[in-house]
Amino acid sequence: MMKGKELPVAFVTFKSRHGAALVSQTQQHSHPLIWITEMAPEPRDVSWRSLEIPFRILPLCKIGAVVAASLLTIFFAVPVTAVQGIAKLEKLKKWFPPAMAMELIPGLSSIVTGYLPSAILKGFIYVVPFAMLGMAKLGGSISKSREEIKACNMVFYFLVGNVFFLSLISGSLLDELGEYFTHPRSIPSHLASAVSAQADFFVTYILTDGLSGFSLEILQPGLLVWDAVKSRTAGRGDEENPYLYSLPYFRIIPSVSLSILIGMVYAVVAPLMLPFLVGYFYLGYVVYVNQIEDVYETAYDTCGQYWPYVHHYIFIGIILMQITMIGLFGLKSKPSASIATIPLLLLTIMFNEYCKIRFLPTFRHYSVKDAVEHDEQDRNFGEMEINCENARIAYCQPTLQPPNFMASKSTSSQPLVS
């Protein structure tokens, strides 16, 4: 019975970093799916729930998470359009008779009908990252940081698809959408004309997202409300989730990356947007430096694992900008300039491939030279045995740790007999 409860996962501690670095990068068995080794995440970062998933089901979990996120991204427009359709004033009066009172105050009805669709859209867009994080948690990653990175990716592609592209093609008939897939050559010119038409929308998007987003970030109304609710319902003292007060990467990184993408695409099409964007970035820098240093707690430390993904988002922005430029030159009847931009596109793709060869392996692997150097430093300072011992006892499942009654402040969890 106990054997059935055993998990085919183990944390292996080595006597030196050198041995750990060598083992984590090599194939141990001629059957590549047996004895798989990788560097363990931080002890506080381990996703114990995901370690229980049998290895055969793991690819299905990964594919399932990606498929669910793709379905959410593709079919997101359906409920939003439905709700926005209801939000028109006539239908609103039919469904909510008290809304007729709005007509009494002059101008209020126009304000409400003007802002209500975008407010509904923003509400939906606010909820989606949490749904994506839930899907990523079911995706079977071994550490919580990787789950959040996956959620960050999903949210970014969701925003690019539903905020950027959907706004570009809004208003087009569905037939035109079918034309995009059947005539791939016309995509740059369609993109360029749509981009030029939607410049005002994106300027307002940057302004509202910047100002309202940053003010909400500083005020933190969500967490204040949640904390007030929690303190009223007492007795849940020591089950604190450290992720509640940690920086929500999966919400911040995609929205800032989307603003970078919008800025790059519009840098040449509608340059008047750039001062607004620069102001957005300055304000965001000030706000987030304050938040990261003084407000949020650090739940885990990935040592820079988000950077390859941010680099990838910027690369996508550059590629979209170049495709838009190719289309724009075609629209302005300058085909020579259009053709001259294609080598630029190829050079950008080749540069990205070079970056992947030159920089990405170091994010994935712990190089042997660094491991040997750190071992030398440890031996010089005599810290080798202490580090070994700390590594050996660090990975202990939270449920198997002895309860710490002294740290609890709640009266209902103190032992009856001390």
Spatial contact of 69 and 132, defined as CB atoms under 8 Å apart = yes
Q: Does 362 bind its own copies (CB under 8 A)?
A: yes
What whole-number distance in Å separates Cα of residue 29 and Cα of residue 39?
17
Q: Which is nearer to its own copies, 10 or 393 (CB)?
A: 10
The least distance separating its own copies from the CB of residue 323, rounded to whole angstroms, comes to 18
Binding segment (CB under 8 A) for its own copies, from list 160-168, 206-214, 271-279, 362-370: 362-370
Please select the residue that binds its own copies; options are 3, 5, 232, 358, rule is CB under 8 A.
Answer: 358
Spatial contact of 412 and 241, defined as CB atoms under 8 Å apart = no
What whole-number distance in Å separates Cα of residue 384 and Cα of residue 17?
10
Q: Which is nearer to its own copies, 186 or 390 (CB)?
A: 186
What whole-number distance in Å separates Cα of residue 365 and Cα of residue 360?
9
The least distance separating its own copies from the CB of residue 223, rounded to whole angstroms, comes to 39
The least distance separating its own copies from the CB of residue 318, rounded to whole angstroms, comes to 21
Q: Does 84 bind its own copies (CB under 8 A)?
A: no
The least distance separating its own copies from the CB of residue 101, rounded to whole angstroms, comes to 53
Please select the residue that binds its own copies; options are 49, 91, 94, 183, rule is CB under 8 A.
Answer: 183
What whole-number distance in Å separates Cα of residue 193 and Cα of residue 324?
9
Please select the residue that binds its own copies; options are 1, 6, 90, 181, rule is CB under 8 A.
Answer: 181
Q: Does 303 bind its own copies (CB under 8 A)?
A: no
What whole-number distance in Å separates Cα of residue 147 and Cα of residue 138?
9
Please select the residue that binds its own copies; options are 368, 376, 392, 405, rule is CB under 8 A.
Answer: 368
Q: Does 55 bind its own copies (CB under 8 A)?
A: no
Q: Does 359 bind its own copies (CB under 8 A)?
A: yes
- Residue 326, class by beta-carbon neighbours within 10 Å (0-12 exposed, 13-18 middle, 19+ buried)? buried
Spatial contact of 313 and 262, defined as CB atoms under 8 Å apart = no
Interaction residues for its own copies, span 13-32 (CB under 8 A): 21-22, 25-32
Spatial contact of 28 and 35, defined as CB atoms under 8 Å apart = yes
CA dihedral 320, 321, 323, 327 (to 10 degrees): 130
3-state class (DSSP) for residue 246: strand
Spatial contact of 327 and 168, defined as CB atoms under 8 Å apart = no
Q: Does 184 bind its own copies (CB under 8 A)?
A: yes
Spatial contact of 211 and 264, defined as CB atoms under 8 Å apart = no
Please select the residue that binds its own copies; options are 33, 78, 173, 303, rule is CB under 8 A.
Answer: 33
Binding segment (CB under 8 A) for its own copies, from list 101-109, 113-121, 295-303, 367-375: 367-375
Q: Does 8 bind its own copies (CB under 8 A)?
A: no
The least distance separating its own copies from the CB of residue 30, rounded to whole angstroms, comes to 5
Spatial contact of 383 and 34, defined as CB atoms under 8 Å apart = no
Helix boundaries (H) for 170-306: 174-182, 187-197, 199-219, 221-232, 249-269, 273-290
Q: Which is nearer to its own copies, 24 or 291 (CB)?
A: 24
Contacts with its own copies by CB under 8 A: the residue count is 28
Q: Does 357 bind its own copies (CB under 8 A)?
A: yes
Interface positions with its own copies (CB under 8 A): 21-22, 25-33, 35, 181-185, 357-362, 365, 367-370
